[in-house]
Structure 1
């Protein structure tokens, strides 16, 4: 498959890979990796995390009952969404999973001051942007429809993420 490059990107592309592809790789690996770390803190206590039992207790205290179910759901969502982002695999689904989780985090932290909700907002903004731009050419999704046609797939990721968050908020 040959990529059509405009004059602005033609000179900087090497084997079809542009600076934008490298930037998307950095964003995916950075945000996805950190998201997976947060999930492993919740579930396993890795990276100075509290582990599942303490996280479940905190979730119950935040109104997510049963806490163990919602803590597990959040941790698995962060690990799954994060690793899919790192790989650039099923990127719209990864963005939706991460967005739904971050919208719930925003719901919990919104009354605690800017410093508390800012990280969830940054993650949410990043995954929405990645959902719309696609993963770039340096990804397992390279060449798939959602890598080339970001508007529809990005919108689908946002809708799915918002619906998932609303369902979680409704049943908690």
Structure 2
């Protein structure tokens, strides 16, 4: 199981790093901060550049936490929250669920993968596993079910204001 958790963390961290790099620096064929800011603003997410910066930094922090397996519930929360917001925004903008049609399917899968780590913890091959203490173990290394449930709930709640803004912007178009 620990090797599976390590693989999940590494793949998710790599994807989140790539997403952030596309947004912030234009790497890997991305738009970069200025162009992505215009796209965000066109969706009603104002100020666009600041929203891109917030999303990109959240993805970078999540990628770092998941890669190292350090404060994994925090990384899982950042990843799940950012990806649920991305999924909802894409789905409401396109009116479609499936990724091929511009919907939010793919970000939802990434959010679910991150939420899984909120329930399981990072596993033995992580920095979280190296820290001892009862509280650390209950919340971080081997989290109780409520930690994963809280991450899932917080990610869903985080998407609500964005959904309202995107719906309002779409209705105005």
TM-score tier (shorter): 0.7 to 0.9
Measure how far apart 1:92 and its partner are: 0.8
The runs of 5 or more residues in structure 1 that have no matched partner are: 1-19
Counterpart pick for 2:128 among 141, 146, 150: 141
Q: Following the alignment from structure 1 to structure 2, what is the Cα–Cα distance between the partners of residues 113 and 167?
A: 19
The equivalent residue for 1:165 is 159
Deviation of residue 113 (structure 1)? Answer: 4.5
**2:148 aligns to what?**
154
**C-alpha distance in 1, partners of 2:88/2:51?**
14
Indicate if the aligned counterparts of 1:80 and 1:94 stay in contact, CA closer than 8 A. yes
Q: TM-score, normalised to structure 1's length?
A: 0.81
Q: CA deviation at 1:166?
A: 3.2
Q: Does 1:68 align with 2:49?
A: yes
Query: How does 1:25-36 map onto structure 2 within 5 Å?
Result: 25-36=6-17
**What are the superposed Cα offsets for residues 89-139 of structure 1, whole Å, 9 maximum, x if unpaired?**
111111111111111111122124402322101101101111101110101
d(CA) in 1 for partners of 2:72, 2:161 = 21
Per the TM alignment, residue 168 of structure 1 is displaced from its structure 2 partner at its CA by 5.0
- Distance in 2 between residues matched to 1:46 and 1:159, nearest whole Å: 32
**How many residue pairs align between the two structures?**
153
Partner of 1:57: 38
- After the TM superposition, which of the residue ranges 95-104 and 113-122 deviates more from structure 2? 113-122
Structure 1, residues 46-93: CA drift from partner, whole Å, max 9, x if none? 112111000000000111011011111111111111121111111111
* Partner secondary structure for residue 139 of structure 1: coil
Larger relative helix fraction: 2
Q: Over aligned residue pairs, what C-alpha RMSD do you find?
A: 1.8
Note the alpha carbon deviations across 1:19-46, whole angstroms, 9 max, x for none: x000000000001111111011100111
Q: Which residue of 2 aligns with 1:130?
A: 117
Q: Counterparts of 1:29 and 1:150 in 2: how far apart (Å)?
A: 23
